[in-house]
Structure 1
Amino acid sequence: CNKLDAALQRCGFRLSNYVSTIKSKSYQSVLQAIINGMTNPEELAKMVHGRTINKHGRDKIKAAVSGLFSETDITIFRQTKEFIDTIERQIEECQKELTALCRKHFPEQYRRIQTIPGVKERAATAIIAETGVDMKMFATAACLVGWCGLRPRNDVSNGRYKSRKVTHGNRYLRQVLIEIAWVASRTRNCFFSNFSYVQTTVKKKSKMKIQVAIARKILVALWHMLSKEEDFIDIYLKRLEQQKLMEANLKSLESKLA
C-alpha cells in the first residue's frame, strides 16, 4: 500500500496527507476512478468524504487529487492494486483456514483466550499458532515471557541503568501482544485500562512502556489460563463487585440499627 501511495505521490497526488489511512473508502474510491481513466480534479474531489472536505477545505482536497497521470502510471497503479488485492485475499483465506483449525482441534482454548480484553478471533488464532495450547513447554510464566522477548533487560552497572529495552524473542507474538495491549488499554471497565490510566495519567509514565508492561501481564495471564484451564478473571471488576457488596451490607446493617 505504501508503494502504491508513493507512486501516486510522484505524480502529484497528495490525498493521503488529508485522510486517516490509505485504506479509507474515500482514498480507495478516488484511486479506482483514476485507474478507470478519470483524472478530472472536480469529479475526483466529489468522491472524498464530506467530513474531510469540511475539515481541510474543498480547494485543498481538489489540489491534493490533481496530478499528471500518464497511461504508464495508470497501468502501474492498476497492476500494483491487483497485486495488493491478491495478497489480501490470500491472507483472508489463510485466516479462515486457521480459524477453522483452531475451532476443530482447540475449541475450548480458542474460546478461553478470547475472554481476555482486547483479544478477538484473529489475535486468538495468532497466539495459538505461536505458543500452542500446552504450557508444559514453559516451566513458569517467566519462561514464556522470556521466550516471547517481553522480559525487561537487566543492564545495570554501578547503580546506573544502561538499557531498559526488552530482550530478544518471538517478535511475531510480541507484535500481536502489543496490539492487544493497545486495545485492552482502551477497553472500559477492565484491569488493563485502569492500569494504563493510573500509570500514564497519574504517575506520568511513558505510554509506550506501559503498553509493553500490559502485554507482559496479558502473556502471564495467558500462561495461567491455559495451564489451569480457567477463563480470564478481571481483578478490577472483582474488586468493584466486592466494594458494591460491602456497601450494600453496610447499608443493610445501618438500616437494621436504625
Structure 2
Amino acid sequence: MKNVIQSILHSHLIPSCPHADLCGTKGRSWLSEQVVPQDERLAIDRHLREFDRLGEDLQVIERDLARSALADEGVKRLMTIPGVDMTVALAMKAAIGDVSRFDDPQKLVSYLGLNPSVRQSGPGPAYHGRITKQGRGHARGMLVEAAWAAARAPGPLRAFFLRVRARRGQHVAAVATARKLSVVIWHLLMKGESYAWARPSLHAKKLRDVELKAGSKALLQQ
C-alpha cells in the first residue's frame, strides 16, 4: 500500500515522504498537504483505508496466536531459549508436530534441512558440503533468524557462534547455531524441560509481551 501511494506521489513529481512512516500520524498529515488531482486523492484515501483494515486483521491474527502460545506449555518452554520469540516458537511447534516421531535430534535436524550434504565416491572418504535445505524451509529460515538473535545474547549459544565464526565466517556460524538450536528444541520438547541457561528476566519479558498481544486475562479465559 505504501509503495502504491508513493508511486502516485512520484507520478506528480512529489518527493518521498520526509517521515519514517508514510501511513503514520506525521506521514498522513504530510500527505494531506500534498496537492494532487481529486481522483488521485480519492485513490490515496482508499489505499489508506485498506491499510488500516489490513492492520486490524493482523492485530486479530496476532491476538489469536498469542492466546495459542499462552495455552501451550511447549511453546512457552521454547521461549526460554535466547533468540526464540513467540513467532519462532509457534512456527517450530507447528512444523515439528509430535516430537516423539523423531527418535533422536539428528532426525529433526535432517527434517529441517540443516544437516550437511555428504558426497562420497566408492570407498573413498566422504566430503561434507552445504546444508541439504530439504524439508521445512520456512521453519529453517526462522531458526536461522533466531540463531542471529541468540548470537547477540550472553550464553553458550553466543559462545558457540563466536567459535564457529572465528574459523568459518559468520554465515556458516549462523547456520551451525540454527542446527544447534534444533537439537536444543528436540531435547526441551522431548523431556518437557526449559532451557538450562535461560534468563528468567528475559523470559518473563517475552511472556509479558505475549500477554499484552493476547489481551486481558479476562479475555483469555473466554
Q: Would you say same fold, with TM above 0.5?
A: yes
Kindly name which structure, 1 or 2, has the bigger radius of gyration based on alpha carbons.
1
Equivalent pair of 1:145/1:151 in contact (CA under 8 Å): yes
What is the CA–CA distance in structure 2 between the aligned matches of 1:234 and 1:101, rounded to whole Å? 25
Q: What does 1:215-254 correspond to in 2, within 5 Å? A: 215-234=178-197
Cα pair distance change 1:83/1:142, threshold 3 Å: farther
Equivalent pair of 1:117/1:184 in contact (CA under 8 Å): yes
> Aligned letter for 1:121?
M
Equivalent pair of 1:155/1:162 in contact (CA under 8 Å): yes
Deviation larger for 77-86 or 3-12: 3-12
SS in 2 for 1:10: helix
Q: What does 1:68-107 correspond to in 2, within 5 Å? A: 69-104=36-71, 106=72
Cα pair distance change 1:214/1:3, threshold 3 Å: same
> Aligned letter for 1:227?
M
SS in 1 for 2:116: coil
Residue 175 of structure 1: CA displacement? 2.4
| Counterpart check, 1:114 vs 2:79 | yes
Residue 224 of structure 1: CA displacement? 0.8
Name stretches of at least 5 consecutive residues in structure 1 with no aligned partner.
40-67, 236-258
What is the CA–CA distance in structure 2 between the aligned matches of 1:194 and 1:75, rounded to whole Å? 55
What is the CA–CA distance in structure 2 between the aligned matches of 1:177 and 1:28, rounded to whole Å? 31
TM-score normalised by length of structure 1? 0.62
Give the counterpart of 2:27 among 31, 46, 49: 31
Residue 221 of structure 1: CA displacement? 0.4
Aligned partner of 1:213 in structure 2 is 176
Aligned partner of 1:176 in structure 2 is 142
| Counterpart check, 1:153 vs 2:148 | no
Q: Percent identity?
A: 22
SS in 2 for 1:97: helix
Cα pair distance change 1:88/1:143, threshold 3 Å: farther
What is the CA–CA distance in structure 2 between the aligned matches of 1:14 and 1:91, rounded to whole Å? 30
> Aligned letter for 2:24?
Q
SS in 2 for 1:100: helix
Which structure has the higher relative contact order (CA within 8 Å, separation 6+)?
2
What is the CA–CA distance in structure 2 between the aligned matches of 1:15 and 1:83, rounded to whole Å? 21
Equivalent pair of 2:5/2:44 in contact (CA under 8 Å): no
Cα pair distance change 1:14/1:192, threshold 3 Å: farther
What is the CA–CA distance in structure 1 between the aligned matches of 2:15 and 2:136, rounded to whole Å? 37
Residue 112 of structure 1: CA displacement? 1.0
Deviation larger for 208-217 or 6-15: 6-15
Residue correspondences, number: 195
Per-residue Cα deviation, 1:82-102 (whole angstroms, up to 9, x for no partner): 333333322221222122233
Q: What does 1:179-218 correspond to in 2, within 5 Å? A: 179-187=145-153, 189-200=154-165, 202-203=166-167, 205-218=168-181
Residue 217 of structure 1: CA displacement? 0.9
Residue 5 of structure 1: CA displacement? 6.5
Per-residue Cα deviation, 1:59-118 (whole angstroms, up to 9, x for no partner): xxxxxxxxx7444444333333333333332222122212223333x2x22221111001
RMSD of aligned Cα (Å): 3.3
Aligned partner of 1:141 in structure 2 is 105
